[in-house]
Amino acid sequence: MNKTPRIVVLYGGVGSEREVSLRSGEAIAQALRASFEVVALVLDSESLPVSIQSDSSVVFPALHGSFGEDGQLQALLEAAGIHYCGSDAAASRLCMDKAATKKIASDLRIAVPAAISFTGADAPLADAVIEQLGASLVIKPADQGSSVGLHFTEHRSALGVTLSGIRSGNWLIEQRIAGRELTVGVLKGAAMGVVEIVSQSGVYDYKAKYTPGSTEYQFPANIEPAVEAKVKAHAEQLFDACGCRDFARIDFLLDGSRPYFLEINTLPGLTATSLLPKSALCVGYDFEQLAAELVAPGIARFLKGALE
């Protein structure tokens, strides 16, 4: 294999983050066309398109959440001998599990918000949660992205109502940290620029993410050099410890000078105005240049002729 492969962008999907994925897929496909032959395929089921040729194509998954970021798609690609960009199936599964990645962060002595994990079928009592974590809380799915299902509660009554409405799935209740929201992109193991997210409402939820004008972004973030270095070091440690490859985006909350790890996004949003491109701009990559860098490791694996 010595010919540059075509890039097959897979996007859409059937999960709750389909609309976000459609935007990412269209944007990254357009950016990649500046340098590569690109085929963009919208997925409408949890299966691989039969048209993908393993001997001439590298897949770029631009899917978020289920069947995209959770390792299912990656496992199918591996079984079919198809090279692809981003983290492998095992790392994708791990990073989709917020509780598991928090455990890894704790083992690395990286601060994380105190939390309780539970399933929808066995939700804890509000009084027990408040006794352990206090009343200011964040409730979120343990294995979803794009702030789907995110709830903030400050009182027992609101917590009780939220918990009573949860019937299924895996969930996480976290002690709410009153801090600055930061995120940093990692490209081939190296942290790029730190981005600060400033939501007008004070809550970076789905509405704040996807409503124009509701959130401001500072990149690079205006933080002390020592804090910036710590955030970047933590991001690189987590990327490595979780077995990630190629790229990811890692989110933190900053309380004073102490960063708290929140989660790893192995397939972050990829429009020109998404957070990963903002992080990349801090180190000199425009969107087309970033797109080329994101696919470079996958192409190298293809040309090497062996799946990692």
| Cα–Cα distance, 197 to 252 (Å, whole number) | 10
Residue 99 lies in a domain: no
203 and 142, same domain (yes or no): no
As for how many domains the chain has, the answer is 3
CB-CB neighbours of 163 under 10 Å: 20
Point out which residues pair with 285 in neighbouring strands. none
| Cα–Cα distance, 249 to 209 (Å, whole number) | 15
Collect all residues with Cβ–Cβ distance below 8 Å to 92 and sequence separation of at least 6.
69, 70, 71, 74, 86, 266, 267
pLDDT, one tens digit for every residue, the chain (308 residues): 458 899 999 999 988 888 989 999 999 999 999 999 999 999 999 999 999 999 999 999 999 888 888 999 999 999 999 999 999 999 999 999 999 999 999 999 999 999 999 998 899 999 999 999 999 999 998 887 645 678 999 999 999 999 998 888 889 999 999 899 999 999 999 999 999 999 775 555 555 555 556 689 999 999 999 999 999 999 999 999 999 999 999 999 999 999 999 999 999 999 888 999 999 999 999 999 999 999 999 999 999 884 44
Last residue of a domain, one of 175, 191, 224: 175
DSSP label of 173: E
Which residues are designated catalytic?
Answer: 17, 146, 210, 249, 251, 263, 265, 269
Residue 27 lies in a domain: yes
CATH of the domain at 62: 3.40.50.20
Per-residue buried b or exposed e for 229-252, using 16+ beta carbons within 10 Å of the residue's own CB: ebbbebbbbbbeebebbbbbbbbb
Residue 58 lies in a domain: yes
Point out which residues pair with 259 in neighbouring strands. 254
| Cα–Cα distance, 14 to 65 (Å, whole number) | 10
Point out which residues pair with 153 in neighbouring strands. 137
180 in Cβ contact with 204 (< 8 Å) = no
pLDDT number for residue 274: 92
Residue 72 lies in a domain: yes
Residue 104 lies in a domain: no
pLDDT number for residue 48: 94
Helix pair 89-96, 98-107: axis angle to 10 deg: 90
Residue 205 lies in a domain: yes
195 and 282, same domain (yes or no): yes
pLDDT number for residue 295: 98
| Cα–Cα distance, 37 to 31 (Å, whole number) | 11
Residue 170 lies in a domain: yes
pLDDT number for residue 308: 43
229 and 272, same domain (yes or no): yes
161 and 201, same domain (yes or no): no
Expressed as residue numbers, the domain containing 254 is 178-286
33 and 61, same domain (yes or no): yes
Strand boundaries in the chain, DSSP class E: 6-12, 38-43, 57-61, 83-84, 115-119, 137-141, 151-153, 170-175, 180-187, 190-199, 215-218, 247-255, 258-265
201 and 250, same domain (yes or no): yes
CATH of the domain at 237: 3.30.470.20
Instruction: Provide the whole-model pTM.
Output: 0.89
206 and 263, same domain (yes or no): yes
CATH of the domain at 171: 3.30.1490.20
| Cα–Cα distance, 55 to 119 (Å, whole number) | 42
61 in Cβ contact with 74 (< 8 Å) = yes
182 and 168, same domain (yes or no): no
Residue 109 lies in a domain: no
At 207 the three-state DSSP class reads helix
Collect all residues with Cβ–Cβ distance below 8 Å to 62 and sequence separation of at least 6.
9, 10, 11, 21, 24, 25, 28, 29, 68, 267, 270
233 and 220, same domain (yes or no): yes
194 and 270, same domain (yes or no): yes
pLDDT number for residue 1: 44
225 and 253, same domain (yes or no): yes
82 and 146, same domain (yes or no): no
